[in-house]
Amino acid sequence: MRNDNRRPSKKLTAEDAKVIKERLKRGDMQSRIAADFDVNLGRISEINTGKKFADVRI
């Protein structure tokens, strides 16, 4: 059974990634950042580990 009530994931931009990296460097919790950007915690983890937006520098 398909759940049609799901929302699509928000697309993060390079500018979002820069802000996220700054917050990670500051020590903000990944879960809080994910909530603030309305994305799955996994997206923040991918940015933190360099799997996504590795070319974005802060």
Task: Give the closest residue to 15 by CA, choosing from 43, 51, 48, 53.
Answer: 53
Does residue 9 lie within any of the structural domains? no
- Answer yes or no: is 55 within a domain: no
Q: Where does residue 20 fall: left (phi above 0), alpha (psi -120 to 50 degrees), or beta otherwise?
A: alpha
pLDDT, tens only, 33-44 = 999 999 999 999
- What is the domain extent for residue 44? 14-49
What's residue 2's pLDDT? 59
Q: pLDDT tens, 3-49?
A: 667 676 789 999 999 999 999 999 999 999 999 999 999 999 999 99
Q: How many domains does the chain have?
A: 1
The dihedral built from the CA positions of residue 46, 49, 55 and 58, taken in this order, carries a sign that is: positive
Q: Please, which pLDDT band fits residue 52 given cuts at 50, 70 and 90?
A: very high
* Contact by Cβ (8 Å): 21, 15: no
pLDDT given for residue 1 in this prediction: 56
